[in-house]
Structure 1
Amino acid sequence: MTPPTSPPRSVLVVGGGAAGNAVTILLRRAGVAVDLIEAKDDWNATAGSGITLQGNALRVLRELGVWEQVRASGFAFGSVGITAPDGTVLHVARDIRTGGDDLPATVGMQRPRLQRILIDAVRASGAHIRLGTRAETLDQDGDGVTVRFTDGSQGRYDLVIAADGLNSSTRAAIGITDKPEPTGMAIWRVAAPRPAGVTRTDLAYGGPAYIAGYCPTSDTTIYAYVVEANRDRASIPPETYAAEMRRLTSGYGGFWPEITATVTDSAKVNYTWFDRLLVEGSWHRGRVVLVGDAAHCCPPTLAQGAALSLEDALVLAELLTSSDTWDDALFQAYHERRIARVRPVVDASVQIGQWQLDGVRDADVPGLMGRTMTMLRELP
């Protein structure tokens, strides 16, 4: 007689960004029943301008089965240029291949395109998806979590994965009081046509702002950005965003005049403060566990935000699908693996910005970047 089989484990993933989508795909591949809820009706399918994906992010995307789509949709390159504000190229450095020698060092992509690729993979996985839905209450016991949703329904799960971002309501609901803190910088971003000749990221330090840079995101597009000291958001009317970004970028040479001329639609310009977050202590309470920006966030000075979130998803899914017991020991093992890797990246990302805020002229930015990226070549 065949012994009865136990029912498949069930997981609720809260949040449909990079970390939430990735962990859903990986758990579904292992046969875990997954519900994914996302607060936004459009699943963030049109949000954002561009994203820089370094090799350790590409390594996870390959594991998710979407690397070929990413490669076809993005723009791969292997170096970064440092320029003077007038556009003079001062130095070109080869990027470290943090994903291994069989992947490009870096791929630039339009962020909405990456999100659509991940959305399609989540849908194909067979996960149950509910958009425009939030978790209202979480009631835990020794065996699982009962979740009541904002539409009045409820569900019972073996585990809840909080992937609901920097201002995670799930993090707060389980009593973790860590909150993001502004670093003192802010960034203006916009998608723009790619000038002929832009084939890598170039960064200008100094000039009218702290940093002005751009990254190719396809054969025809880039995203451009400029970093300054943060301002009171209320003092910048959204309808003036394009004019403000043009004002900041008009002092840069090289490809910038061509880029600046295309910044005309304020609705396409994004203004965001830089924040730092690193949840201290364990990243779980009972059977609720944090991933991605809900657990950590850093300024994009090393372009590692999405990569770290994707790695969280990979490590957590690996531990969950290789263990018969989901308990504190497993979740603590997840935290210990991740904190040793995440903390140096968060600290380095913040330090690079702080050196600029403090006007430190002899700061070893290349050395810090090199040491951090070399560490990321190791498997997570």
Structure 2
Amino acid sequence: MKLRTAEIVGAGLSGLVAANRLAQLGWKVRIHERNAELRMFGAGIWLWESGLKTLETIGAYDSAVANARAIKDWQIRDGKGRILMSRRADDSDRLLLPPRADLYQALIDQAIKHGVEIVTSSVAIGAKPEGGIIFEDGSETSADLVVVADGAYSRVRESILGTKWMDFGAQVGIRMLIDEQEGDIHDTLIEYWNGPWRLLYNPCTDGKNYIFLSAPVDEERGRKIPIDKSLWIEKFPHAESLIHRFQESGRWDRLVNVKCRKWHEGRVAIIGDAAHAMPPNLGQAANTAFINVMALAKMATESDHIPDALRQWEQQQRSITNHVQWWSYLYGYVLGNWPTSLQTLRSDFVSAISKTEWFDESLNRGARHVPAGYVAPTARLTKY
């Protein structure tokens, strides 16, 4: 049987997972990264059951989560400290929170073990539907499968006119790691709301905790780096001890939604943020990318005709992705657009609806999804 080749644009999380899984299934894989080195910014990442099953399958689980906190509860609290939602996790419905850099390095190490070729300073500007990549220096390469994973602002996606729309929304997000102190909670995510402002505390790893902040995009002080600690203490006085530890090295981003006209063209597939960027309101963006990658690798490997496989893949995976993306958008809308004068009503509404079976299933549909081709491990690093 002819050795199939895959060329991947972008060595972020989704690109590396795709490289790992395809190589594991017998493909010859090369991944192109525009930067001169592989690097990941300092933050944590939520890994739900779907993402963890993906990591188990490709063999990256143990090293990715070796230093992670096992989360038992995700709480949303309003400005008065009232718990509006409590989403529990356990060993059959896991949520682990490692440093993002640990996950990234685990994927790199596993890709090398699988024989993936990683090329840095390789700037792709377009994809050819017949199977190939066009580079900034004028060179081209061909492959049986091209995977586009170069992020929300993907230049390669636009070379096949894949974008339908981009929505920058009304929020800006700031991520950072802060020093851990004695007495910090190790197993509970606490998300504080105050009007359209949010402070999310994430136990992450020994010595460090992960903070995510969001604020209205037109609030200049809210997106300021270094962070205006006095402003955030004013908004969240009950989190003052955390805010005093905020680092100057945090980074902020516009929270963006991306919708594609299509995820494929010929032998070209679009994945990750390039296909379905979403605000990190549910912590499911990367996990959703992973389950799409697993399905892509399985269907492309089992098919004799790659374009047909990609068409079937998109038809199969769009519905769950659209669901997660819509819920992420809706979550942000309720947070950022609810009238200030009706905050008590919002608290009552969220508290009531979060206790329903419909809400639980809808919120967690992506998180609990079993990826295509999942292979259960013979042993698992215990975290709970």
Q: Same fold (TM over 0.5)?
A: yes
206, 226, 241: which is aligned to 1:258?
Answer: 241
> Quick check: 2:33–2:121 contact (8 Å CA) kept in 1?
yes
CA distance in 2, matches of 1:204, 1:313: 33
1:152, CA displacement in angstroms?
Answer: 4.7
**Structure 2: runs of 5 or more not aligned:** 340-345, 372-384
User: How do residues 18-97 of structure 1 correspond to structure 2 at under 5 angstroms?
Assistant: 18-43=13-38, 45-85=39-79, 88=81, 90=83, 93-95=86-88
Q: How does 1:119-268 map to 2 (within 5 A)?
A: 119-140=108-129, 144-195=130-181, 196-199=183-186, 200-206=188-194, 210-231=197-218, 241-244=225-228, 247-254=231-238, 256-265=239-248, 268=249
Q: Give the direction of change, closer, same or farther, for the CA distance of 1:14–1:186 in structure 2 (3 Å limit).
A: same
Q: SS at 2:32's partner residue?
A: strand
User: Cα deviation per residue 1:23-79 (whole Å; 9 max; x = unaligned)?
Assistant: 111111122111100111222x23242212222211111112111112312111121
Q: Deviations over 1:288-342 (max 9, x none)?
A: 1111111101111111111111111111011112222212x21121111211101
Paired position in structure 2 for 1:379: 370
Structure 1 residue 91 displacement after superposition: 5.7
Number of aligned residues? 357
CA distance in 2 between partners of 1:40 and 1:24 (Å): 17
- Equivalent-residue separation in structure 2 for 1:297 and 1:363 (angstroms): 28
After the TM superposition, which parts of structure 1 deviate over 4 Å for at least 4 consecutive aligned residues?
235-238
Q: 3-state DSSP class of the match of 1:334?
A: helix
**Among the aligned pairs, what percent are the same residue?**
21
Whether the 8 Å contact between 1:79 and 1:92 is mirrored in structure 2 is no
- 2:59 is aligned with 1:105: no
- 1:271 aligned residue: 252
Q: Could you say if the C-alpha distance between residues 188 and 237 of structure 1 is closer, same or farther in structure 2, counting changes exceeding 3 Å?
A: closer
**What residue is the counterpart of 2:378 in the other structure?**
none
Distance, in Å, in 2 between the alignment partners of 1:31 and 1:46 is: 28
Shift in CA distance, 297/237, structure 1 to aligned 2, threshold 3 Å = closer
Q: CA 1:92/1:326 → structure 2, altered by over 3 Å: closer, same or farther?
A: closer
Tell me if the contact between 1:38 and 1:130 (Cα under 8 Å) persists in the aligned partners.
Answer: yes
Instruction: List per-residue Cα deviations over 1:164-209 (Å, max 9, x = no partner).
Output: 11011111011223242111111122110123231210011116x5
Greater alpha carbon shift after TM alignment, 301-310 vs 355-364: 355-364
Check conservation: 2:221, 2:231, Cα contact below 8 A.
Answer: no
Distance in 2 of aligned mates of 1:270 and 1:288? 32
Q: Determine the structure 2 residue equivalent to 1:310.
A: 290
TM-score normalised by length of structure 1? 0.86
Is the alpha carbon distance of 1:167 and 1:245 closer, same or farther for their aligned partners in structure 2, counting shifts above 3 Å?
Answer: farther
Deviation at 1:230, TM superposition (A): 1.0
Residue identity opposite 1:175 in structure 2: L
User: Which residue in 1 is equivalent to 2:314?
Assistant: 335
Contact kept in structure 2, 1:163 and 1:290, CA below 8 Å = yes
CA-to-partner distance for each residue in 1:90-113, whole Å, 9 max, x for gaps?
36724356xxx54x5211121122
Residue 179 and residue 244 in structure 1: after superposition, are their counterparts in 2 closer, same or farther (change >3 A)?
farther
- The CA RMSD measured in Å over matched residues stands at 2.4
> Whole-Å Cα distance in 1 between the matches of residues 259 and 126 of structure 2?
24
Q: CA contact under 8 A between 1:83 and 1:203: conserved in structure 2?
A: yes
Q: What TM-score results when the alignment is normalised by the length of structure 2? A: 0.85
CA pair 250-237 structure 1, distance change in 2 beyond 3 A: closer
Residue 337 of structure 2: which of 358, 361, 375 is its match? Answer: 358
Per the TM alignment, residue 156 of structure 1 is displaced from its structure 2 partner at its CA by 1.7
| Cα distance in 2 between the residues matched to 1:375 and 1:236 | 36
5+ residue gaps in structure 1?
none
CA drift of 1:145 comes to: 2.4
Give yes or no for contact 1:74–1:218 (8 Å, CA) kept in 2: yes
Equivalent position SS for 1:226: strand
Secondary structure at the aligned position of 2:164 is classed as coil
C-alpha change, 1:374 and 1:257, in structure 2 (3 Å) is: closer
